[in-house]
Amino acid sequence: MNKWRWIACAGALAAIFVAVRISSAADEDLDSLKVCRETQKLIFENAFVRVIDDVIPPGVTEPKHRHPHGVVVTLADADVESKTYPEGRVARGHSKSGNVNWSEPTVHEVHNVGTEPTHYIRIDVK
- For residue 10, being part of any structural domain is answered with no
Residue 17 lies in a domain: no
3-state secondary structure of 92: strand
pTM of the model: 0.77
pLDDT average, residue stretch 81-100:
97
CATH code of the domain containing 37? 2.60.120.10
Each residue of 19-64: pLDDT tens digit? 434 444 445 799 999 999 999 999 999 999 999 999 999 999 999 9
**Residue 4 counted as domain residue:** no
In a domain, 98, yes or no: yes
Average pLDDT, the chain: 87
Between CA 106 and CA 82 the distance in angstroms is 11
Beta carbons within 10 angstroms of residue 62's beta carbon: 21
> What is the four-CA torsion angle of 123, 102, 34, 31, rounded to 10 degrees?
120
Residue 58 preceded by cis peptide, ω within 30: no
The total number of structural domains in the chain stands at 1
Domain that holds residue 35: 31-125
